[in-house]
Amino acid sequence: MAAREELIILFDEMGTALELLGANAFKVNANRKVARVLEDMTEDLTPLADDPAALQKFDGIGKSSAVKICEFLTTGRIQDHQALLEQLPDGLLELLNVPGLGPKTIRNLWEHAGVESIADLEQAIADDALGDVPRLGKKTIANIADSIEFMKKAGERMPIGRALPLAERLIEHLHAKGGVGQVEYAGSLRRGRDTVGDINLLATCDDPAGLIEHFQSLDDVDKVLLAGDTKCSLRLGLGMQVDLRVVPTEAFGAALMYFTGSKEHNVTLRERAIKSGMRLNEYGLFPDDGQDTPPQDRGITPAAAATEHDIYAALDIPFHPPELREDRDELDSVPPLVTIEDIKAELHAHTTASDGHLTLKELVVEAKRRGFHTLAVTDHSRSSVQANGLDDDRLRRHIEAIREIDAATKGIRVLAGSEVDIHADGSLDYDDQLLAELDIVVASPHASLKQDPAKATARLLAAIAHPLVHIIGHPTGRIIGRRAGLSPDLHALIEAALEHDTVLEINANPQRLDLRDIHVRAATDAGCLLAINTDAHTDTHFDFLRYGVLTARRGRLGPEQCINCWPAKRLHAWVASKR
DNA sequence: GCCGTTTTCGGCCCGACTGTTTTCAGTCG
């Protein structure tokens, strides 16, 4: 594991340990914040081992944390971390993963019933041994038992490729009831994260109680976790929690903003509101009159509430699209971001010649139907045997067929390409003479994806520097939730890509999303060119574009640096420049 | 523990819901 990943775990654990020990909540948060800042970093930490001042430049890392990070980089451990964990039984931290159990309750269980782990807790429940624990009644105990059962069968976070279609079906279900106005999904799904932990829905309705009732009539409801006047949480059988909030129409924007988060972005906005003498909550942005009772309960008219745009404007902050609400940047400027409508070319797609499901002709028809001015046909190369990769002769005949269909088709340029394997040593799967016959080359790693970082870096650098290569396809080879993929030195790749005018791909397949958001961000900041490709193997795969675009936007990518957005002439000239 | 365009000390976001309680603590998002 890389140092950065270990540090994320250590700071998270320090926060958790402090919480269980009853430390100051702000101190707890400060440690968690350091973990979050580390999550968003792509820099190599090794050179900073004796430079705490450089670490303190990152917002949220103060002197104390910087010294701890340096201690870890030098010695491989943090003494304070070890000292904290020694004060707690080994199993206590895992109890925080039980939904409904917070630090106070866990401390309570530990002190009054000797519970030190999930196993202890299960045993104590079975033995009916929790009677003496204060503020712990029968209902709470039953809920805890249920949560533990649920944890055992619940899966990981759900990939966005499953969560987004599910959310759209849930919204359809809500619209089936009469009197429903707006319905939107919020949360990390709306922010476009590559995986989501739950689904948040927001609705307006002239009969909130009726809608809450109707919501519970969904198929596949495993448990109703809570159901109030305006709020309802369900657990679906497939292990996903879904929350619905019914809100007033006039406050829909405030609620949407609030439930879209991120939590950190919301906190930053509220702090900004306070500095401007205002108060922000899910009902709107109100003048702050210093009273404790919430302004919406006193009939105060908000300065803004109906739309998100109104609220950002009233705060004098540029509108932030959901993808940029991760609190990674200052609030003062928002760059132009790529949109689905900007994408005019698909530069990575497969046909029945290798492992695709569309014939060459069907693929071209589909790309044209989608309004693209350019399509690159990039079937697999010979080493991808499992994908029916093309040997030299088959590739030459395929190139001929592509040239013919290009000449015969009006309204779209069809490029003869290949998705060429990058071997473990960095060499490519066809010789240079054959590569030169192709219009466009996407070079991708497919095998040897457990290489150590140094080898992976050298491998990818060789492909980036190859004069006949245009694009590096799914550079790390990760499969979300299944395979970590390569961990190359990203900044070295970015530097080389700039030098050799090579493009890095954002593979839009929701199982991949590779490069991922923070990688895109680093590449965008450096001035790199990127491509958003669907890697289509059938017609519906073109719909993956939205996932790639969300990832790109999270990385602050604009249309200027995304070659799929370029006009045909400019794109074709760039493609030709590598020949 | 972190931070500062009034601050190097004294703040640090806000509300819904539940369960265990007679007025509120804890959890969650």
What is the reported pTM? 0.87
**pLDDT for res A82:** 94
Q: What band does A150 get if pLDDT is binned at 50, 70 and 90? A: confident
The boundaries of every CATH 3.30.460.10 domain in chain A are 158-246
Q: What band does A151 get if pLDDT is binned at 50, 70 and 90? A: confident
What is the Cα–Cα distance from A40 to A487, expressed in whole angstroms?
Answer: 15
Residues 148-187 of A with CB under 7 A from strand B: 187
**pLDDT for res A470:** 98
Give A565's Cβ-side CA count (13 Å radius). 19
The boundaries of every CATH 3.30.210.10 domain in chain A are 251-324
Contact of A217 with A271, CB cutoff 8 Å: no
pLDDT tops 70 at residue A154: no
pLDDT tops 70 at residue A132: yes
A60-69 average pLDDT score: 92
Work out whether the CA dihedral A441, A192, A556, A569 comes out positive or negative: positive
pLDDT tops 90 at residue A70: yes
Work out whether the CA dihedral A398, A404, A405, A406 comes out positive or negative: positive
**pLDDT for res A500:** 98
What is the Cα–Cα distance from A18 to A34, expressed in whole angstroms?
Answer: 14
Q: What band does A323 get if pLDDT is binned at 50, 70 and 90? A: very high
Buried b (16+ CB within 10 A) or exposed e, A521-542: bbbbeeebbbbbbbbbbebebb
A204-209 average pLDDT score: 91
pLDDT tops 90 at residue A458: yes
Report how far apart, in Å, the C-alpha atoms of A202 and of each of A177, A216, A246, A328 are: 14, 15, 6, 25
Protein contacts on strand B: list nucleotides below 7 Å from a Cβ: 1-3, 11-21, 25-29
Q: What band does A459 get if pLDDT is binned at 50, 70 and 90? A: very high
3-state secondary structure of A440: strand
Buried b (16+ CB within 10 A) or exposed e, A209-226: eebbebbeeeeeeeeebe
Strand B close to A268 by CB, under 7 A: no
Q: What band does A385 get if pLDDT is binned at 50, 70 and 90? A: confident
Question: CA A63 → C1' B1, Å?
Answer: 9
What is the homologous superfamily of the domain A251-324 according to CATH? DNA polymerase, thumb domain (3.30.210.10)
Strand B close to A104 by CB, under 7 A: yes
Strand B close to A289 by CB, under 7 A: no
**pLDDT for res A155:** 64
Which of A98-107, A128-137, A355-364 is modeled with the greatest confidence?
A355-364
Specify the CATH class of A340-576 in words. Answer: alpha beta
What is the homologous superfamily of the domain A3-86 according to CATH? DNA polymerase beta, N-terminal domain-like (1.10.150.110)
Q: What would be the CATH architecture of the domain defined by A93-153?
A: Orthogonal Bundle (1.10)
Question: CA A320 → C1' B3, Å?
Answer: 24
Contact of A557 with A337, CB cutoff 8 Å: yes
**pLDDT for res A247:** 93
pLDDT tops 70 at residue A506: yes
Residues 51-90 of A with CB under 7 A from strand B: 56, 59-66
Strand B close to A237 by CB, under 7 A: no
Strand B close to A42 by CB, under 7 A: no
Q: What band does A450 get if pLDDT is binned at 50, 70 and 90? A: confident
**pLDDT for res A138:** 87
* 3-class secondary structure per residue, A366-387: HHHHCCCCEEEEEEEECCCHHH
CATH 3.30.460.10 fits A158-246, yes or no: yes
Question: CA A244 → C1' B29, Å?
Answer: 12
A346-361 average pLDDT score: 96
Residues 188-217 of A with CB under 7 A from strand B: 198, 200
A111-115 average pLDDT score: 90
The residue that leads in pLDDT, A324 or A220, is A324
**pLDDT for res A386:** 83
pLDDT tops 90 at residue A312: yes
DSSP string for A299-320: TPPPSB-S-HHHHHHHTT----
Strand B close to A137 by CB, under 7 A: yes
**pLDDT for res A330:** 85
Strand B close to A234 by CB, under 7 A: no
Q: What band does A418 get if pLDDT is binned at 50, 70 and 90? A: very high
**pLDDT for res A22:** 85
